Amino acid sequence: MATQPQKTLETFDNPYTNRDYHIHMEIPEFTCLCPKTGQPDFATLLLDYIPDKKCVELKSLKLYIWSYRNESAFHEAITNKILDDLVSVMKPRYLRLIARFYVRGGIFTNVVVDHRKKGWKQDPLILLRDFDHQSNFR
């Protein structure tokens, strides 16, 4: 049976709940439909989160993202919806989703949304000179 898109996000237990650590994902093949024209909109999604008790399972995330291919929505709405769905199943300490939509009519659109668990405070960032100059993080 062929794999099909789905709206179900699965999780697994965070193996290191005793520490904050950053998970970064880049999803370069996001597509949805423009609600005005019906034409496809293309985006790269950048997902960064600090898990609490749960992490998102990658195959379910892939199928979830695929499920938007034939849905029409404004960039702002779809980005917020994805964040809400991820927060709902994972309940992370922190989550940021950046949707970088490709040019449409001469305009690039970037939508940035985030969630912070009530009471969670980020530890100060420690910059390591050698790492910072060679980092692939954007």
* pLDDT tens track for 74-106: 999 999 999 999 999 999 999 999 999 999 888
Its CATH architecture, for the domain 11-134, is 2-Layer Sandwich (3.30)
| Residue 27 · residue 69 · CB < 8 Å | no
pLDDT value, residue 122: 82
Catalytic annotation, residues: 34, 41
Helices (H), the chain: 58-66, 75-90, 129-134
| Residue 62 · residue 30 · CB < 8 Å | no
Low-confidence ranges of the chain (pLDDT < 50): 132-134, 138
Domain ranges of the chain: 11-134
pLDDT value, residue 130: 57
pLDDT value, residue 104: 83
| Residue 97 · residue 86 · CB < 8 Å | yes
* pTM summary value: 0.87
